[in-house]
Structure 1
Amino acid sequence: MNKHLIALAVTAATLSGAASAAQVYSDDTSSLAIGGRVEARALLSEQAKNNKVAPTLQKTENEVTDISRVRVNIDAKTQIADGVQGVGFFEREFVQDNSNDENRYLYAGVNSDQYGQIVYGKADGSLGMLTDFTDIMAYAGSVVGGTKLAVADRTSNNLAYAGNFGDLTFKANYVFSGAAYDADTGKKTDVHGFSTGAVYKVADTGLALGLGYGEQRDQNGVDTHKARSEQTFATASYTMGDLYFGGLYKSGRRDGKNLVNGDVTDTQGYEFAAAYTMGKTVFTTTYGFMKDENAHNVYDELANAAAVDATYYFNSNFRTYASYTFNMLDKNKVGKVAASDQFVLGARYDF
């Protein structure tokens, strides 16, 4: 049970209810499964409020925000040749206020039992399996992992390959150039590029190692220069009985428009994670730091936070959790709201 719970905690970000999806149709060649989750979440943090007496002064107060969400997915497969299947997957997320409802996945392709899977549509990039080394918490954490390049994250117009070869998992994807309109400027935007990554599990040791690289060019409606961005991720994890440890290092570079003075910005970040299983409860913690720095050693501290949480698994379908984030950004530089701590209570049902 304990090793099973650690596995659930470490892969929680990628499960999306798939582990308990219900098969609603099956014949000799095809199958269709429906899954997802219902997740009630209450967030306590400092929020900005209007100051009627002095509108130019920022006023904040603690407030509970309902950030509940629902995800529903459809997973379809059909046999098209010996050891080869046609696959399709769709997942939609609905949030409490309907402001950020989105199609998380929408892709179709071909899977080979021997050679791997290739799909096109809105699918994962290649660096998500690396950031999952530290993205293990029920709610918080992953301040570095959440800053992947668009082409290396879950995105549309994406041709993606994934293959498992014994203890080695390899991924590669390319996001095609396709102009869209920026809602704020009304001008065309464009992002295209590629990413690739590999994870190797050292047999019978509990050790896993990962390395990945991504590169993209993007142009928005304001900056006519097509900025070039690149990222490298290196990760490692170790599982020993009821204990799990993970680490991640990120190095990146961007030219053109950036967050600090100068024409080139270097990004550096690192993150550490740990999990411990005790009975049906999994305790997890992370610490992450990230900064942007230019050639003149002027830098912006983008993230500096530690988080702890506890998740109780009643069974594989239902869990409850509590999560607290200690935000260590300087409130005098980023403001009280951006530097505020967060506390979350949640209950999640997977189907």
Structure 2
Amino acid sequence: MNKNLIALAVAAATLSGAAQAAEVYSDETSSLAIGGRVEARAALKDSVVTDNTRTRVNIAAKSDISDSVYGLGFFEREFRADESKNENRKLYAGIGSEYGQVVYGKIDGTLGMITDFTDIMAYHGNGAGSKIEAADRASNSLAYTGSFDNLVVKANYRFKDSKADGEKNDGYALGAMYSLDMGLRFGAGYTEQKIESNKADQDKAKQAFAAVSYEIGDFYVAGLYQDARNTKLNKVLSEKSRGYEFAAKYSLDKLVFSGTYNYLKSRDTGTQEAAVNAYAVDATYYFTPNFRTYASYKLDQAKTDVKNERNKDEFVLGARYDF
């Protein structure tokens, strides 16, 4: 893994989703870029087709304050076929230099950098990479990201919010990623979040993640491990849980094949069934760097609330245009 990928990892904190962004304005000190995607997605599950089409539009701005310090801002909005799911995915501003970036607003949490090791599929996957709010994409957050040769470090703190249901959660996350030029990469992270309900303190939610990946030629393989305390699985609070994800990818010219296996289970006494137990495979064809089509299939082995009944499998066809 070369240093250019390290630089991209840091840039992702500011320009995530803007890889194809077009610069629409620039002068000696400032620049403005607009990017996004249009993605048609038809999901077939239990003989029903669901339209999961979405569009993302982002704006990235940067302005030099001095020779070594700059200001930045980023906004991304997602529009869904189901308009009730429209949301501002990211909305933040901050300051940066050769020592890193500090931003505040709605940001990607620290552990996303770790789960990205195995979150490689066009549609499915990442079932064992679920994160608590403080480590996931959340508003009212302050974050730092820095790159030092082959090392990327990231930390964020989510401030306490008042919610309609009476919950007030705040917490932090820390993470690091180290890459070797031979194609080997390591990542680890930790997060804690207070759990308060109606002013009654309860145990903290905690998660630890570790990941490793290796890339050689057209092959990529990765593994992710999660150990958690007091987090929710299928909307039920679990005192202890553990999970992992394995991912592999092979590129054949413009065609990319990928697959994952996800497993996540509560370790509480008496718990029998896994919350996540799924295989997934997909194939993506890149007609151009901006346009691709894909097919993705998920074989779900986890059980439903109905005893001995397995979750329904899902097949998805998609087309995506990046701009």
How far is 1:300 from its partner? 4.4
Identity score, percent: 53
- On the 8 A contact 1:227/1:255 being kept in 2, the answer is no
Query: Following the alignment from structure 1 to structure 2, what is the Cα–Cα distance between the partners of residues 332 and 173?
Result: 36
The answer on whether the counterparts of 2:39 and 2:318 sit within 8 Å (CA) in structure 1 is: yes
TM-score (norm 2): 0.91
Q: Which residue of 2 aligns with 1:259?
A: 236
CA distance, structure 2, for counterparts of residue 220 and residue 99 of structure 1 = 27
**SS where residue 209 of structure 2 aligns?**
strand
How far apart are the structure 2 equivalents of 1:335 and 1:101? Answer: 36
C-alpha distance in structure 2 between counterparts of 1:41 and 1:240, whole Å: 31
Look up the match of 2:183: 206
Moved over 2 A (4+): 14-17, 218-221, 223-227, 255-260, 296-300, 330-336
Q: Give the aligned length.
A: 313
Q: Distance in 1 between matches of 2:193 and 2:95?
A: 26
Change (3 A) 1:298 1:21: same
Contact 1:226 1:256 in 2 (8 A): no
8 Å contact from structure 1 (residues 16, 37) kept in 2: no
Listed one character per residue, the Cα deviations across residues 310-337 of structure 1 (whole Å, up to 9, x for unaligned) are 000111110000000000013464786x
Amino acid at match of 1:347: A
How many Å apart are 1:63 and its aligned residue? 0.6
Q: 1:242 to 1:134 in 2, by over 3 A?
A: same
Q: Secondary structure at the match of 1:190?
A: coil
- 1:17 deviates by 4.1
Which of 49, 64, 67 is 2:49 aligned to? 64
Q: Deviations over 1:8-44 (max 9, x none)?
A: 9xx99x9864111011111111111010000000000
Distance 1:15 1:74 in 2: 9
Deviations 1:35-63 (A, max 9, x none): 000000000002xxxxxxxxxxxxxxx11
Contact between 1:228 and 1:256, CA under 8 Å: does it hold in 2?
no
SS at match of 1:130: helix
Q: Matched residues in 2 for 1:39 and 1:220: separation? A: 39
Counterpart contact for 1:227–1:256, Cα < 8 Å: no
Q: Relative to structure 2, which stretch is displaced further, 16-25 or 90-99?
A: 16-25
- Does the C-alpha gap of structure 1 residues 180 and 200 become closer, same or farther in structure 2, counting only changes over 3 Å? same
Following TM superposition, by how much is the alpha carbon of 1:227 offset from its aligned partner in structure 2, in angstroms? 3.7
- Whether 1:167 and 2:150 are equivalent positions in the alignment is yes
Aligned with 2:276 (options 303, 308, 315): 303
Distance of 1:165 and 1:238 partners within structure 2: 21
Q: In 2, Cα distance between the equivalents of 1:299 and 1:227?
A: 23
TM-score normalised by L of structure 1: 0.84
Q: Is the 8 A contact 2:15 2:74 kept in 1?
A: no
CA shift in 2, pair 1:93/1:210, >3 Å: same
Instruction: Indicate whether 1:292 and 2:275 are aligned.
Output: no
Write the distance in 1 (CA, Å) between the matches of 2:247 and 2:81. Answer: 29
| Alpha-carbon distance in structure 2 between the residues aligned to 1:148 and 1:300 | 20
Contact 1:225 1:256 in 2 (8 A): no
User: Is the Cα contact below 8 Å between 2:124 and 2:298 reproduced in 1?
Assistant: yes
Equivalent position of 2:285 in the other structure = 312
On the 8 A contact 2:15/2:60 being kept in 1, the answer is no
Corresponding residue for residue 3 of structure 2 = none
Query: CA 1:215–1:334 in structure 2 vs 1: closer, same or farther (change >3 Å)?
Result: farther
Match of 1:87 in 2: 72
Structure 2 residue 135 is matched with structure 1 residue 117? no
The whole-number CA distance in structure 2 between the counterparts of 1:81 and 1:214 is 35
Give, in angstroms, the shift of residue 81 of structure 1.
1.4
Offset of 1:255 from its aligned partner? Answer: 8.0
For residues 102-251 of structure 1, what are the structure 2 equivalents within 5 Å? 102-112=87-97, 114-145=98-129, 147-182=130-165, 188-202=166-180, 204-220=181-197, 224-251=200-227
Match of 2:255 in 1: 281
Q: Secondary structure at the match of 2:19?
A: helix
Deviations 1:247-283 (A, max 9, x none): 00000111899836xxx71010000000000010110
Whether the aligned pair in 1 keeps the contact of 2:187 and 2:210 (CA below 8 Å) is: yes
Distance 1:40 1:256, change over 3 A: closer
Name stretches of at least 5 consecutive residues in structure 1 with no aligned partner: 1-7, 47-61, 183-187
Pairwise CA RMSD: 2.5
Rounded to whole Å, the distance in 1 between the matches of 2:294 and 2:16 is 16
How far apart are 1:218 and its partner, in Å?
Answer: 2.4
In structure 2, distance between residues paired with 1:285 and 1:42: 19
Q: Which letter maps to 1:288?
A: N
- Counterparts of 1:349 and 1:334 in 2: how far apart (Å)? 42
